[in-house]
Amino acid sequence: MRSPGGNSPSRAALPFTLPGDSAGLHQPKRRSWERRPHLWFILPALVAYGILFIYPTIRSFYLSLFDWTGIGPIGKMVWLANFKELLHDERFRKAAWNSTKLFAVIFVLQNTVSLGLAMMLNRRSPMTHVYRAIIFLPVVMSAVATGIIWVLMLDPIIGIVNPVLRDIGLGSLQQEWQADPKWAMKMVYLVQFWQWNGMAVVLYLAGLQNVPEDLRHAALIDGAKRWQVFRDVTFPMLAPAFTIVTALSFILIFRAFDLIYVLGGSTGAPDGATLVIGVLIYGEAFGTSSFNAATRMSYAMAEGVTLFVFLAGMSGLLIRVLGRREEALH
């Protein structure tokens, strides 16, 4: 679509300069538009995205350099002071640690339970589609609904788990599931896994359907053990699905808010046990409760910028490393 010799000033100009900017160049400008039809398609999205996505992202980097509560005039510029403070902030460290643990636990569960279920589902049976549809169901439900469902399940008084344990004679196993700091974060793992297990199962199942049956049969006939077939044939063939499941849960978990807010509120109750990065940033920016309404908008932005840089860097790294692994395995 590009024509050679496109060096005239009007064509070198950015596509989204205002028409009034260069009234004298009106004629060549219109021709340049005709030569670049793609701009017409991209422009509406680019303008909207520029105003409400790119500009705010840049502005949050800028505002993270100030000392500002978020209310009233912007305070004075403190450069990187917010970032320095963040390194020694106990709550930030704890939230980062909790988010990391959540990812690690989900990662392990996805590659054992979800993968195992996907392998079990990878067979022809009239019920396969029914089971798959049920296992995937929580993925379409809102985090608010999921959170409230599990608050009911785990409630010590009206809940389901404790009364059932009591009535089947296992009363000693009853716990204050959500109020006990020892158990609260484990319940977050459970609920998070309950909601997203179906996603990993379906993605692994799609990957397994690309593994040729013949290859596995050939290996079995050659005397390989089932475990060896899995390790040397099936799992390497699942490399693309592994990349997707890992990268997706990484991004989802480090940006998570809704579900964990429903379970633990803005302070990560009890006693910060369920505080994760996403909730911490919210609390810092808007105050954690009506009793503690102190807001630190710029500090929250510094935390958000740190998270963004970490996510962008790690996603890039993950995709590159896992992509290379995929190539090496094929």
Partner 1 sequence: MSAKHGRRLLGGIVWHGVMLIVCAFVLIPIVMVVLGSFKTVDQFFDRPYGLPESFDFFNYRKAWDEANIQSSLRNSVIATVCGVFFSTVFACLASYGLARFRFRGRLGLRLLFVGGLVVPVQLIILPIFIMFRQIGLLGSLWSLIVVYSVFGIPLGVLVLTGFFGVLPKDLEDAARIDGASHLEVFWRIMLPLTRPALAAVVILNGVWMWNDFFLGFILINDPDQMTLPVGIMAFRGTYSTEWGLIFASVTISVLPVVGAYLLLSRQFIAGLTAGSVKG
Site for partner 1 in 200-239 (CB under 8 A): 202-203, 206
| CA neighbor of 99 nearest in space, from 311, 300, 254, 245 | 254
Q: With respect to partner 1, which residue has the nearer C-beta, 50 or 212?
A: 50
| Binding flags for partner 1, 50-79, as an x/- string (CB under 8 A) | -xxxxxxx-xx--x------x---------
Residue 222 · residue 208 · CB < 8 Å: no
| 263 binding partner 1? (CB under 8 A) | no
Residue 164 · residue 154 · CB < 8 Å: no
CA-to-CA distance for 180 and 162, rounded, in angstroms? 14
Q: With respect to partner 1, which residue has the nearer C-beta, 200 or 273?
A: 200
Q: With respect to partner 1, which residue has the nearer C-beta, 6 or 212?
A: 6
| 131 binding partner 1? (CB under 8 A) | yes
CA-to-CA distance for 138 and 318, rounded, in angstroms? 27
**Interacting span for partner 1 (CB under 8 A) from 48-56, 89-97, 208-216, 227-235:** 48-56
**Interacting span for partner 1 (CB under 8 A) from 21-29, 231-239, 252-260, 320-328:** 252-260
Q: Minimum CB separation from partner 1 for residue 52, in Å?
A: 4
Q: Using the rule CB under 8 A, which residue among 138, 264, 268, 270 binds partner 1?
A: 138
Q: With respect to partner 1, which residue has the nearer C-beta, 20 or 137?
A: 137
Q: With respect to partner 1, which residue has the nearer C-beta, 102 or 202?
A: 202
Q: Minimum CB separation from partner 1 for residue 28, in Å?
A: 18
How many residues interact with partner 1 (rule CB under 8 A)?
A: 90
| 143 binding partner 1? (CB under 8 A) | yes
| 115 binding partner 1? (CB under 8 A) | no
Q: Minimum CB separation from partner 1 for residue 131, in Å?
A: 5
Q: Using the rule CB under 8 A, which residue among 264, 268, 270, 278 binds partner 1?
A: 278
| 160 binding partner 1? (CB under 8 A) | yes
Q: With respect to partner 1, which residue has the nearer C-beta, 53 or 97?
A: 53
**Interacting span for partner 1 (CB under 8 A) from 87-95, 127-135, 175-183, 322-330:** 127-135
| 325 binding partner 1? (CB under 8 A) | no
